[in-house]
Amino acid sequence: MNPYHTEILATAALYALLALGLNLIVGYAGLLHLGYAAFFGIGAYTYALLNLHLGWPFWAGLPAAGLVAGIAAVLLGLPAIRVRGDYLAIVTLGFGEIVRVVATNLEGWTGGPNGLMGIAHPSIGPIRFGVDAGPYFVLLVFLVAAVAWISVRLRRSRLGLAWLAIKEDELAAGCLGVDPLRMKLLALALGGWVAGMAGCVFAAKQGTITPDSFDFIQSVMILAMVILGGLGSVAGAIWGAAILSIAPELLREFSTYRMLLFGLMMILLMRVRPQGLFGK
Amino acid sequence: MNLFLQQLLNGLTIGAVYALIALGYTMVYGILQMINFAHGEVFMVGAYFGLSVILAFGLAAPVPGGVAWLVGVICAAAAGCALLGLLIERVAYRPLRKAPKLSVLITAIGVSFFLQNAVMLCWGAQDRYVPELLPVRQMGEGAVAVTPMQVVIFAVSLLLMIGLQWVVHGTKLGRGMRAVAQDPLAARLMGIPVDRVIAVTFAIGSALAGVGGVLFGVYYSTINFHDGYLTGLKAFTAAVLGGIGNLPGAMLGGLLLGLLEALGAGYISAQWKNVVAFAVLILVLLLRPRGLLGERLAERA
């Protein structure tokens, strides 16, 4: 285990957390969201601003980042939720891009394209996290385990069944007394909350954030992880994240060809197994 | 007033290019109810095809008969993109015709990655300069600067749009396309070669995107392998604005979006120019999801 390997593992764990959060929105509630990275970004900027301006420590920033991102997800979801299917995908994509452009252009607050730097690393009592990826990996594994546990518990709960119902047939679910709007907003809130926490950890780990880390490609990568693993599958989201974040590293010896091969891999996988690795 | 007229003209010019690309989105959506996310990359590849043809003939500066050369370059790029569209449809999309929609989306994104990186490997990652084929000068004595290139862009787009209308409404192929769009199964039962009609639709849409790519390249004189994403998204916005699945709608949407964007850049701030497209997209989807001319309900998606 050299630092390079720990770094890859920490990245994989971060993506696993994001994939689990997006799985709640796309896999559980069936809302095709293409702007998920925006909530990741909102969480990162929330912690960065709270830390730089008000001196908040990481452990106070973590819930705050989750809360702000969750609220943002609901607020952006309120107008978007009425459109369906592919159209929802496009609206969310638009919102995601707008968040990124705002972060790029509001230079007074966000530092513009250069982003924010000097964000504090976390510490627990005398233990300081620093730049090494190891402690972050441990922290992220805890978070992944917690969100995975919540996800599994949710699936058989009233909420999980309501999501399943609106995903299968929204009209029928509505007639049976499930409020589709509320259920969808709840999924967005939960998913946004997870992304916000992931953003907070990311900001604390990197110490520097720029709007580029939260662009459309990032949203697409997270979505690809969820779909590769199989929609709605908790194990699938984690495996999908592990595979897609480690594969480009393994392909590194092909250097310039690696993203080409990555695209090809996505095409082939969907041909061979369109329902994902763990999908039914 | 001059600023207004100038921005109007600039907006309509780039709007015509958006319209050409939007046609491809709308044709494929009309027939397969599928958003071809890789369409923007086909446009970008078209721009590079155009660049290669221009360089192959050593057309480094405005040449006599520039318009004829330009038309030649456009035809070559269109043919190349048509082949590319056929290939994408055959290899990536056709095997997934019965698969869940999300898998098709992922495939389209895979195709995008592939094309972007293929272009980066073939033509390099840095911005490429596209030589001007037409003299850069103001035409006429008016207060507003009209360049020959803008005239050509208008003429080419207009001709192609009229041509496409004729294909869809005046030929056997077009009747087949409309039949498949209405009901693929019934169309098959009537003896329409559905697979071939879909393939030709992709070819035509991709060829139009290729034309758009060449025009974009010679108009802005720089191209980059990243251009496909944003321009493709704007063209998609244009298609939605006009009413997706509706050909005149795509044209109208393209011109309108170009106008809004140019006016936004001229009067608000150039930095926020790209937000205009997204804001329009979101507003249209929320207030009038079927678009300006669309009849189809958004719920079908």
Q: Is residue A38 part of a domain?
A: yes
**Residue B117, domain CATH:** 1.10.3470
Residue B299 binned pLDDT confidence (cut-offs 50, 70, 90) = very low
DSSP reduced 3-state for B222: strand
Q: What is the spatial distance between Cα B77 and Cα B82, in angstroms, rounded to a whole number?
A: 8
Residue A6 structure tokens: 């720990």
CB contact under 8 A, A83 and B298: yes
CB A15 within 8 A of CB A225: yes
Q: Which of A34, A83, A87 to mutate to test the interface with B (most CBs of B within 10 A)?
A: A87
Q: What is the spatial distance between Cα B12 and Cα B260, in angstroms, rounded to a whole number?
A: 9
In chain B, the residue whose alpha carbon lies closest to the alpha carbon of A230 is B103
B122 touching A, CB under 8 A?
no
Domain that holds residue B186: 2-300
Residue A3 binned pLDDT confidence (cut-offs 50, 70, 90) = confident
**Single-letter amino acid, residue B61:** A
Q: Which tens digits make up the pLDDT trace of A178-225?
A: 898 999 999 999 999 999 999 999 999 999 999 988 988 899 889 988
Burial degree of B86 (CB within 10 A; 0-12, 13-18, 19+): middle
Sign of CA dihedral B128, B134, B136, B139: negative
CB contact under 8 A, B229 and A257: no
Residue percentage of chain A with pLDDT more than 90 = 51
Q: Which tens digits make up the pLDDT trace of B69-124?
A: 889 999 999 999 999 999 999 999 999 888 877 788 888 988 998 999 999 999 98
Q: Is residue A186 part of a domain?
A: yes
> In angstroms, what separates the C-alpha of B238 from chain A's closest C-alpha?
13
CA angle A127, A128, A129 (to 5 degrees): 120
Q: What is the spatial distance between Cα B280 and Cα A195, in angstroms, rounded to a whole number?
A: 27
Q: Is residue A88 part of a domain?
A: yes
DSSP reduced 3-state for B193: coil
> In angstroms, what separates the C-alpha of B106 from chain A's closest C-alpha?
6
Instruction: Calculate mean pLDDT across residues A22-43.
Output: 93
Q: What is the spatial distance between Cα B291 and Cα B301, in angstroms, rounded to a whole number?
A: 14
**Single-letter amino acid, residue A190:** L
Domain that holds residue A69: 3-215
pLDDT exceeds 50 at position B10: yes
| B145: Cβ contacts below 8 Å, ≥ 6 apart | B6, B138
B240 touching A, CB under 8 A?
yes
Chain A hits for B104, CB-CB cut-off 8 Å, are 270
Chain B 3-62, residues with CB within 8 Å of chain A CB atoms: 35
CB A232 within 8 A of CB A19: no
User: pLDDT value at position B65?
Assistant: 73
Q: What is the spatial distance between Cα B86 and Cα A100, in angstroms, rounded to a whole number?
A: 35
CB contact under 8 A, A259 and B121: no
- Count of domains forming chain B: 1
Q: Which of A270, A271, A272, A273 to mutate to test the interface with B (most CBs of B within 10 A)?
A: A270
Among A103, A94, A91, A88, smallest CA distance to A41 is for: A103
B121 touching A, CB under 8 A?
yes
Q: Is residue A100 part of a domain?
A: yes
User: What ipTM does the predicted assembly reach?
Assistant: 0.81
| B270: Cβ contacts below 8 Å, ≥ 6 apart | none
Chain B hits for A86, CB-CB cut-off 8 Å, are 35, 101, 301
The residue to which tokens 């043919």 are assigned: B79
CB contact under 8 A, B285 and A87: yes
User: pLDDT value at position B300?
Assistant: 37
- Count of domains forming chain A: 1
Q: What is the spatial distance between Cα A40 and Cα A1, in angstroms, rounded to a whole number?
A: 28
